[in-house]
A and B are shown apart, each in its own frame.
Chain A
Amino acid sequence: MRAGWSETERNMSESLKFHFDVNGSSFTSAGQASVQVKKSLRELGIPAEAIRRVSIAMYEGEINMVIHAHGGEADVIVYEDRIKIVLNDHGPGIPNIELAMKEGYSTAPDNIRSLGFGAGMGLPNMKRYTDEMTIETEIGKGTCITMWVNF
């Protein structure tokens, strides 16, 4: 199954919304939603630096969802001068957010490290590239990460 547009809508309040289902069963396809968002933001004429920040933060989030939570949903909303990214999963939740935010701390299995991820940089990178990031998490229920990039 390929990640892709499942819904694109332009609503009346000048925002543009993209919704993706992130497939949790394939590491190979992880990142497809971010690639699609990057293309769409380019077409919209968003400044290159903002596009890069959105795509990297979203890409790290997508990879995290595949590694830790069997996938989830990603929503991107484009406003006049900022972009909101919401990543929602129904995974195990994050027991200790402070620890998870530390560079180098990772609970990813060894096989993920051999694929080039699980270095404990995912959440720190997401915070690094965004202007605002909030994490809501509940053990056994899931995690919702909301990020804002201003431009």
Chain B
Amino acid sequence: MKISAIKALLDAEMVCGEDHLDREVYSACGSDMMSDVLAYVKDQAVLLTGLVNSQVIRTAEMMDMVCIVFVRSKKPTEDMIELAKESGIALLTTKKRMYEACGLLYEGGLVGNGAEHE
């Protein structure tokens, strides 16, 4: 699924990374606990979260994630946007809640696919 499709499905607003709209996302992870996110490597994933701090961007960067969606209208800070730009990560914000946002993406064909690293 392309980032542009995620944006459309979640009726999301683009915060930064317009040039990444055509990038493919193969899996997804929804969590506010960054250590849980760090436990499972997924390939070219999108992170859905309600947490807003710079460690969200760093976690995504460590995991080679390509896109972060902030749910419940959460807005990243300027520092976070700057970090995301440096790392080439697209940021979106949606009014949807976590459960609904995950459900919409799943229904749209983006399944979790979180293979555990061995």
Interface residue ranges, A against B (CB under 8 Å): 27-28, 30-31, 34-35, 38, 48, 52-53, 55-56, 59-60, 63, 113, 115-122, 124-125, 128-129
Q: How many residues of B contact A (CB 8 A)?
A: 23
Q: Which single member of A34, A48, A113, A128 contacts B58 (CB below 8 Å)?
A: A34
B55 interfacial contact with A, CB 8 Å: yes
Q: B35 to A122, Cβ gap below 8 A?
A: yes
B36 in complex: contacting residue of A30, A121, A129, CB < 8 Å: A121
Q: Which of the segments B3-11, B61-69, B95-103 contacts the partner chain?
A: B61-69
Nearest CB of A to B37, in Å: 8
Segment 35-74 of B: residues with Cβ below 8 Å from A: 35-36, 38-39, 41, 49, 51, 53-56, 58-59, 61-64
Closest partner residue, chain B, to A108 (CB atom): B35
In the bound complex, residues from chain B placing their C-beta under 8 Å from that of A129 are: 117
25 residue pairs A–B, Cβ–Cβ below 8 Å: A27-B53, A28-B54, A28-B55, A28-B79, A31-B58, A31-B62, A34-B58, A35-B61, A48-B64, A52-B41, A55-B62, A56-B41, A59-B58, A59-B59, A59-B62, A60-B35, A113-B33, A116-B34, A116-B51, A116-B55, A117-B33, A119-B35, A121-B35, A122-B35, A124-B39
